[in-house]
Amino acid sequence: MKKTIFYHAGCPVCVSAEQEIVNLIGTESVEIVHLGESRDRSVEAERAGVQGVPALLTPTGNVLQMNYGASLKEVIG
């Protein structure tokens, strides 16, 4: 099964959401990607339909946008 990917950018909203998601889904089932640090991942995020962070890309390819932190444009410039 493909992993769930949690995209964030280190903002307080993101960190709080990250903890909740890891608690709910389990550390081993979710990959955490910091788009501010791993800027090469932003193309893949954009293609998947991520519009802002924090966002959860599920194994089925759907994007769940979470509590609004920042737009993808604000993060990747």
Smaller CB separation from a copy of itself, 15 or 43: 15
Q: Cβ closer to a copy of itself: 39 or 67?
A: 67
CB nearer to a copy of itself: give 59 or 73. Answer: 59
Binding site for a copy of itself (CB under 8 A): 4, 16-17, 20-21, 23-25, 29, 58-60, 62-68
Cα separation, 68 vs 38, in Å, equals 20
**Sign of dihedral through CA atoms 30, 35, 39, 42?**
positive
Q: Are 57 and 7 in contact (CB under 8 A)?
A: yes
